[in-house]
Structure 1
Amino acid sequence: MEKKIKLCLVGGEDAHKRIELSNYLLQHGFEITILGTKDYDYPEHIQFIKYNLNRKLNLFSDIASIFQYRKIFKEHKFDIVQTFDTKPAFLVPLASFGQPHKVVRTITGLGKLFVSKGLSTRIAQSVYVFLHTLARKRVFCTTFQNLDDRNFFLEKALVTEKNHSMIYGSGIDLKSIKEKAARSRSPFTAICVSRLVYAKGIIQYLEAAKMCADKGFGFKFLLVGPLEENSEKLNEKILNQYAPYVEWLGKRSDVPDLLLGSDVFVLPTFYREGFARVLLEASAYGLPLVTTDVPGVTDIARHMKEGLIVKPKDSEALAEAIIALYENETLADELSKNALLNVQNYSMEVVSKAYSDLYQKAYEN
């Protein structure tokens, strides 16, 4: 690559999660700027620009965000602008009309908007489709992280067969993972690492832990992640009620160590995931998976290959799958081996090369 292509990655409050990908893209010769809504200790070789974004739909704040984008784009004259968040996926294209840069966006999941039901949800879904209809003419390429989201966009004519691609995830830095889980089974330990919201299947995980205990199994259940919901369905009081069965550790900085000390990774989500990266992280440590049949999950884990797949919202099936991996160590070993092989397909080298090729194509087009 002769000239350094000026690449802008647009995210929200978790824009810092693109630092690893950015480091690899720098090796491909790109000049990187990250736009995000939350301060973070970014490395010196990555320029960071903070902006304001309301996560909820709000006409006035969204128009303000569009004007922020336009001002930043005009000042910095990027060659390519890439979005990695729900609202920037349609706000950035709208802000890019009349600007010379190419827009690439990654759909990172359709989320709870397509899990909930009711009139208000249907209205919100219609607004979502309408906004993407307005934005589609200004997008060079839309990348998807799972086939269900791609099929939805094709069905709604939000993309064509020619202007979209599949890039699974944002890459796993396998070089940084030096050890594999010992899976010592002393005691047999299940771990769930997730944001604690109802749609992530947290209640089903708690219930499955109790079912295992009621059947006489002395398993250890770990729940790792911050509580991000306080509703009748999920709150701190409910978590405390299951304290005899599940050890809730909250947000932790030593997740790798916790994974190394576990025997099985459980993700009971019924949320419409974009790409359940946490399953790949668990796979990289050699943990067999127990998870659910939902978009963004089954693109990663296959039943009886990398893990056991159960129906969403089925606590009993979840418990039975965990017990099955305890009772059948040969099966657990096979799933672990397959998980380690499968995660190689999602390495940072593979994913960064896919994005680099796409950006080069956009720049030369």
Structure 2
Amino acid sequence: MAGRQPGFWDVEQRLRELSAQGDPLEKLGATVDFEIFRADLDATLGPRDLSRGGRPPFDPVLKFRMLVLQAMHGLSLAQTEYLVADRLSWMRFCGLGPGDAVPDANTLWDFREALIGAGALDALFSRLDRAITEAGYLPMAGQILDPTLVAAPRQRNTEEEKARIKAGETADAIWPDKPARARQKDMDARWTVKFAKAKPAADGTPRIDIAIPAFGYKSHISIDRRHGVIRRAKVTDAAAHDGARLREGLIDPNNTASDIWADSAYRSAANERFLAGIGKVSRIHRRKPKAKPMPKRTARANAAKSAVRAHVEHPFAHQKGPMGLVIRTIGIARATATVTLANMAYNMKRWCWLDRRSAPA
């Protein structure tokens, strides 16, 4: 009824209704014990000198929960602050009540910068991976590698400025009389060209490759074949070659199977030697011979590998779709933080899905 005075138990009743409807954040909070991250967070931030006065600091686990919410929904920090203050389900996930203070966007920015500066996000990612493994989802049945482009705000530079950026000059050196402009230039992101297949024409004309320019970064991941959890990850500029990343920490040594699946960009003599040297079996696609048709035997083998390799597209589709993964920041360090948090958010959601699938009917 309009104008009714709110009751004392109205909030609790609404939360019970949200639980009855299957609040996904409540399920996430029940699956992932965020206290496992406290030791790493405390070690990163260090003790605060309360004798200097000021407002008591916000709980680091609370701020980390908010960064996870941001990554899950592709939000800005300001939007995250607003929605945590506005939505009851988000408040409950963060352990807050309607009357509690919510960390603002600047507080979250400082917190994330502290994590980046200390290199703590890798430790947090590894801690989550151990928790998923301890829950029974061991990395097994081999691993699948693939990259995807992550868009960043496009830069409008002249050919001379582009050449100076590629030469490694700093933004301050390129724009000495325009400090505000220099601060907004991303010197780490790069342009690249992505090739896509056009649909065949109605008259039977063969389809051709379409070159699509893209600017930003690449997210390289390795998932385990059985559970689809992201086990290893790396971020580079968009122009970095895919194949060279295989030897840069993308192989999970804890995977109990030796098979490695990847597309033909990863096939090289150096990679084959590397995999053989660490006891892994290459299931990497073979390339089409130059100026020759693809042998039928090779085409059948590639098709069989594709049936397995296609599973690595699922994390990318979820991150770019429902999670809205894009880069809003400047520099590869912050881009790496954005992608790492998105990978952690995906793994948390994947963990929840695995639990639901294994639960008795």
TM-score, normalised to structure 1, is 0.25
**Higher RCO (C-alpha under 8 Å, 6+ residues apart):** 2
Give the structure with the higher percent helix: 2
Which structure has the larger Rg? 2
